[in-house]
């Protein structure tokens, strides 16, 4: 459990590998290791040898779930793997992935990143037909649908199921002798494919995992595609037409993905740096304009000449590139202000009450010498519930910062996500309930700035093609706002 972090949570990372003449389980392990940031609560892997599928999954980090003993049992040339985030600890193992079942067409395993918004209806339909479930996961619904669908081949069965699935899904599917990579027609979640040095192929949520495996010639699985990995040549089927414009999750760029991820030709680190640059333009120009509107006297001119602040610091790690960009454009020097303990949020041991009261202080220490007596601009990637920004400001002020200005590299998050990101419900989101100035007051910042939607799109260097619904409320797929509750509690997923 992560007691110290209110950041939005990605639901999963997935990987699939076909690698003849290689220890595919070991490769999948290292691929999952590179996807660990997309989910730290559970991990799983299924491996096929042409006849049977062997699977292991468990609660914990990849390195805790896959011990040397476990790895020796996972033999074959085809594999899929999964790292998982979930919201409660009550049924972590029951909902860990992959899901595996025996079907009349042979064994089948499936791992999923995303969220089907019509999973409740599909589940009810199946239950009326007598199908039982062992979990509340939409991934199990998808697995059962594939097992029951008619069709001569798995490609046909997958295509039939895709026509009924509404929502976000980047899937890896394993049969006894093939790995399939499947992406929804909106393209919400990433899934990329690469050529292994041995001649096989791998697919993964992020290009960084493919690079870890030594892949070349990396491309995205296109929205609506089913790609089969079972011999040296890829087999590609456009199962559903791509929805235009696509709806790639902009939050992958803002927060989730590792900076070495390149998605649809756009590198995440570069986007984050440009988000900081755009934010600096908006903040400093706005600030100077405000000052000029004041009566111009000697004092106002001096305040403009003195600049906006003395130092720019990031909330590590995801805001580091943005703070560099902010510093570059604003001319305000960059420095480290927080040191993050990368391991504190990755424990199942609950802190004592007295430690819990220390809140973010358990996760972050301040380099006092870098902020003492200074006007600080703190760059962060988002404010969701508003629980951590205030304590971070307090840490800086306790360390002697004279002023703390907060600049956020995205617009206010005022709407929940229905496509697989856990941000909470409407009532949890501070920007749904309060104005920017009320949020500033709540967190105790001297000033608070958010990047505009326009500024965000400038940083992406695209006019469209991204889902921005958590900022704008304009969902790429019509959603029932009431389903936000079930969509996000996901207590048993």
| Residue numbers at the binding site for ligand SF4 (CB under 6 A) | 188, 249-251, 417, 419, 421, 467-470
Of the two residues 415 and 440, which places its CB atom closer to ligand SF4 in the complex?
A: 415
Residue number, 12 or 419, with CB nearest to ligand SF4: 419
Between 313 and 421, name the residue whose CB sits nearer to ligand SF4. Answer: 421
**DSSP secondary structure of 342-396:** TTTTS-SSPPPHHHHHTGGGGTEEE-HHHHTT-EEEEEES--SSSTTHHHHHHHH
Report whether 121 contacts 115 (CB < 8 A).
no
Q: Is 12 a catalytic residue?
A: yes
Nearest to 89 by CA among 154, 41, 30: 41
Closest separation between CB of residue 153 and ligand SF4, Å?
31
Which pair of tokens denotes residue 315? 């909330």
* Of residues 80 and 417, the one with the C-beta less far from ligand SF4: 417
Q: How far is the CB of 11 from ligand SF4 (least distance, A)?
A: 10
- The DSSP letter of residue 253 is I
CA distance 200 to 205: 18
C-alpha torsion sign, points 435, 441, 442, 448: positive
User: Which tokens is 250 given?
Assistant: 């902009």
Q: Which residue, 113 or 327, is less far from ligand SF4 as judged by CB? A: 113
What is the SS3 assignment for 408? strand
Could you give the maximum distance between any two Cα atoms of the chain, in Å?
83
State in angstroms the smallest separation of the CB of 203 from ligand SF4.
Answer: 20
Minimum Å distance from CB 420 to ligand SF4? 7
Catalytic residue among 12, 215, 249, 410: 12
- Any idea of the CA torsion for 85, 207, 411, 284, to the nearest 10 degrees? 130
Nearest distance from residue 368's CB to ligand SF4, in Å? 35
Q: For tokens 């590299």, what's the residue? A: 409
Q: How far is the CB of 346 from ligand SF4 (least distance, A)?
A: 23
Task: Tell me the residue number closest to ligand SF4, measured at CB.
Answer: 417
Residue among 315 and 469 whose Cβ is closer to ligand SF4? 469
**How far is residue 232's CA from residue 201's CA, in Å, rounded to a whole number?**
8
Q: CA torsion, points 166, 172, 174, 177, in degrees to nearest 10? A: 120
Q: Are strands 178-183 and 192-195 parallel, antiparallel or unpaired?
A: unpaired
The helix/strand/coil state of 447 is strand
Contacts of 68 (CB under 8 A, 6+ apart): none
Residues carrying an active site annotation:
12
């Amino acid at each position: 459990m992560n007691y110290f972090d209110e950041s939005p949570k990605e639901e999963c990372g997935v990987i699939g590998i076909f690698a003849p003449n290689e220890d595919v389980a070991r490769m999948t392990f290292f691929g999952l290791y590179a996807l660990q940031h997309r989910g730290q609560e559970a991990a799983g892997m299924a491996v096929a040898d042409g006849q049977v599928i062997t699977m292991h999954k468990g609660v914990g980090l990849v390195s805790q779930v896959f011990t040397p003993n476990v790895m020796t049992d996972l033999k074959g040339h085809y594999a899929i793997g999964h790292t998982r985030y979930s919201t409660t600890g009550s049924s972590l193992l029951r909902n860990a992935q992959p899901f595996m079942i025996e079907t009349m067409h042979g064994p089948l395993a499936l791992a999923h990143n995303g969220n089907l918004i019509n999973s409740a209806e599909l589940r009810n339909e199946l239950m009326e037909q007598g199908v039982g479930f062992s979990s509340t996961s939409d991934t199990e619904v998808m697995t059962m649908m594939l097992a029951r669908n008619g069709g001569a081949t798995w490609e046909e069965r997958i295509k039939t199921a895709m026509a009924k699935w509404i929502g976000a899904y980047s899937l890896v599917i394993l049969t006894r002798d093939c790995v399939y990579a499947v992406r929804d027609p909106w393209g919400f979640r990433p899934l990329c494919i690469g050529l292994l040095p041995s001649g096989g192929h791998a697919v993964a949520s992020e290009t960084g995992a493919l690079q870890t495996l030594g892949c070349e010639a990396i491309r995205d699985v296109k929205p609506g595609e089913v790609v089969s990995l079972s011999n040296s040549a890829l087999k590609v089927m456009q199962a559903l037409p791509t929805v235009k414009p696509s709806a790639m999750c902009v939050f992958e760029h803002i927060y989730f993905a590792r900076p070495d991820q390149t998605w649809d030709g756009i590198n995440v680190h570069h986007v984050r740096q440009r988000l900081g640059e755009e934010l600096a333009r908006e903040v400093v120009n706005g600030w100077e304009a405000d000052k000029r509107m004041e009566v111009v006297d000697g004092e106002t001119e001096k305040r403009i000449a003195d600049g906006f602040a003395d130092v720019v610091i990031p909330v590590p790690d995801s805001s580091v590139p943005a703070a560099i960009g902010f510093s570059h454009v604003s001319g305000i020097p960059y420095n480290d202000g927080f040191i993050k303990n990368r391991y504190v949020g990755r424990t199942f041991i609950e802190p004592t009450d007295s430690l819990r009261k220390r809140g973010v202080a358990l996760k972050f220490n301040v380099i006092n010498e870098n902020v003492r007596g200074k006007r600080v601009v703190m760059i962060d990637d988002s404010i969701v519930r508003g629980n951590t920004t205030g304590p971070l400001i307090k840490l800086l002020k306790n360390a002697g910062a004279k002023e703390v200005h907060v600049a956020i590299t995205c617009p206010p998050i005022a709407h929940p996500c229905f496509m697989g990101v856990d941000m909470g419900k409407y009532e949890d989101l501070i920007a749904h309930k309060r104005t920017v100035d009320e949020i500033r007051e709540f967190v105790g910042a001297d000033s608070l700035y958010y990047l505009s939607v326009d500024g965000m799109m400038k940083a992406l260097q695209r006019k469209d093609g991204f889902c921005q619904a958590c900022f704008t409320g304009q969902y790429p797929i019509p959603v029932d706002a009431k389903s936000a509750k079930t969509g996000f509690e996901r207590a048993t997923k």
